[in-house]
Chain A
């Protein structure tokens, strides 16, 4: 990390390779679209590397990067949400391999509100604790916990309805 902060491109490349996959998968889980995940994750790294000089290297890099990626994804999706429906190519492009695993659950996660979807992705996709999510999104821990609880409740209800059908 210290070498990367000093501009060592090899060290920065190693940092990138270590975290790129997780950052991209988090971006994909939030946006549901490969093209958008490419952009969000790339933007996240670009911003993170540009701000590396201000980063406290005693803290872990991963949660800081995921904070940037999650906020970038939220910004983009919120901006898109302001568009009229005809402008929104908002259909998640789930690959068959991904969709086959747990199709019902995947659809239910995609139906969560953006705010709930992000905390679910950061909790269960990235493995962050509610405290880390709260720090990343500038939210009180209580809000993160309540969003997680409501998201899980909504997912259970959706899955039950699907099961009945």
Chain B
């Protein structure tokens, strides 16, 4: 027999709010992508024709989305060609053994790999896969993976603007941050574009960093603290820091995590540098911190995994990052990569107004 309380509960849930139509549309799209057809016992001609028509429709949709994203140019009839966006002439750093380089310059993603292929597309974030076989990019409100040859691997609706992407060292997973309204969500997806899952519904827009074994990655939670998420145990470890974390970098071997706040850099619990941190990363097994030093050139300091200081050197311009075992700096006219290899090369020519949002060497 239903009690008064039970009737109130039924009434309460009956008054629950309705889902947003937009959420339903996105969910339907995701659900249909996940559909795995079970083959009927006998495939007839009709099924073949339907499947072919489906493939044609999907190809048209894919071509349309790529055309809209700028990765593929489609021209029909005598319509006047729009002026193509300016080409970014990105070059691989010499003598560093790099497989590829990706940069977002003035909102356009540019990728160049060793074999000579290159692609350009409008993008909000990007990350190279291991060996630069693919690049994952935030294009409109989707996470898209493209081979540098231009071949489209997958496109996954992200539900918002993708602001940061990190590809796991083993290539099997991608962690990415999406802006939805005023909030940022952290999601992870398989490298083939399947099994997308929400990891944290409130994070900061900082690029996650994968541990060398690809079983965990670090990100910055909404409270500004570094969090290491273990995929195997689905557990989180929160790392204390005196100020909000702005950058993270796991070592390419082992599990040492280098963390930067606006005024200091930490390797594990040890403070390794203070001052305005321009960039952090790893030069092989050396934790590397670039500190802005006012009028003089930035100081780059390296440390053993234990935190013991190893070397310090100055580099020209402003340090953009430490990536692919190289320090990348920006001067008034060039972006340079090198120093540890003693061979510095120009990877991109720039002007004062050129905005370089992301540069990664893989």
A interface with B by C-beta (< 8 Å): 4-7, 9, 12-13, 16-17, 20-21, 24-25, 28-29, 33-39, 41-43, 45-53, 75-76, 79-80, 82-84, 86-87, 89, 95, 97-98, 101-102, 105-106, 109, 120-121, 124-125, 152, 155-156, 159
13 other contacts beyond A49-B31, A97-B17, with CB at 8 A cut-off?
A: A5-B38, A16-B32, A17-B28, A20-B19, A35-B185, A39-B201, A49-B35, A53-B38, A83-B238, A87-B225, A109-B9, A124-B13, A156-B5
Q: Are B223 and A84 in contact (CB under 8 A)?
A: yes
Q: Are B6 and A41 in contact (CB under 8 A)?
A: no
CB of B141 within 8 Å of the partner chain = no
* A29–B18 CA distance with the chains assembled, in angstroms: 11
25 A–B contact pairs at CB < 8 A? A5-B38, A6-B37, A7-B35, A9-B32, A9-B35, A12-B31, A24-B24, A38-B23, A38-B26, A38-B159, A39-B201, A43-B197, A49-B35, A52-B38, A53-B36, A75-B234, A82-B235, A84-B225, A86-B223, A89-B202, A105-B9, A120-B9, A124-B6, A124-B13, A155-B9
Closest to B224 in A: A86
Instruction: Give the residues in chain A near B343, CB-CB below 8 Å.
Output: none
Q: Are B28 and A16 in contact (CB under 8 A)?
A: yes
B219 → chain A, closest Cβ, in Å? 11
Instruction: Give the residues in chain A near B202, CB-CB below 8 Å.
Output: 87, 89
Q: Are B227 and A45 in contact (CB under 8 A)?
A: no
* A39–B158 CA distance with the chains assembled, in angstroms: 11
Instruction: Give the residues in chain A near B37, CB-CB below 8 Å.
Output: 5-7, 53
A7 → chain B, closest Cβ, in Å? 3
Q: Are B26 and A152 in contact (CB under 8 A)?
A: no
Known A52-B35, A124-B9, A155-B5: A38·B16 in contact at CB below 8 Å: no
Q: Are A102 and B11 in contact (CB under 8 A)?
A: yes
* A18–B24 CA distance with the chains assembled, in angstroms: 12
* A127–B26 CA distance with the chains assembled, in angstroms: 27
* A105–B180 CA distance with the chains assembled, in angstroms: 31
Known A38-B19, A45-B31: A79·B234 in contact at CB below 8 Å: yes
Closest to B196 in A: A46
From the candidates B13, B28, B33, name the one contacting A121 in the complex (CB within 8 A): B13
Q: Which residues from 32 to 89 on chain B have a C-beta closer than 8 Å to any C-beta of chain A?
A: 32-40, 54
Closest to A27 in B: B19
Q: Are A24 and B180 in contact (CB under 8 A)?
A: no
* A124–B168 CA distance with the chains assembled, in angstroms: 43
* A21–B201 CA distance with the chains assembled, in angstroms: 22
A39 → chain B, closest Cβ, in Å? 5
CB of B222 within 8 Å of the partner chain = yes
Q: Are B32 and A76 in contact (CB under 8 A)?
A: no
Q: Are B222 and A89 in contact (CB under 8 A)?
A: yes
* A48–B10 CA distance with the chains assembled, in angstroms: 26
B296-325 vs A: 1/0 string, CB under 8 Å?
000000000000000000000000000000
B137 → chain A, closest Cβ, in Å? 22
B1-14 vs A: 1/0 string, CB under 8 Å?
00101101111110
* A50–B193 CA distance with the chains assembled, in angstroms: 13
Instruction: Give the residues in chain A near B222, CB-CB below 8 Å.
Output: 87, 89
Instruction: Give the residues in chain B near A48, CB-CB below 8 Å.
Output: 31
Closest to B40 in A: A6
Instruction: Give the residues in chain A near B140, CB-CB below 8 Å.
Output: none
Q: Are A101 and B15 in contact (CB under 8 A)?
A: yes
Closest to B197 in A: A43
A52 → chain B, closest Cβ, in Å? 7
From the candidates B12, B24, B40, B236, name the one contacting A105 in the complex (CB within 8 A): B12
* A49–B198 CA distance with the chains assembled, in angstroms: 18
A41 → chain B, closest Cβ, in Å? 6
B14 → chain A, closest Cβ, in Å? 8
B161-185 vs A: 1/0 string, CB under 8 Å?
0000000000000000000100101
Instruction: Give the residues in chain B near A35, CB-CB below 8 Å.
Output: 180, 183, 185, 201
* A34–B40 CA distance with the chains assembled, in angstroms: 39
* A34–B21 CA distance with the chains assembled, in angstroms: 12
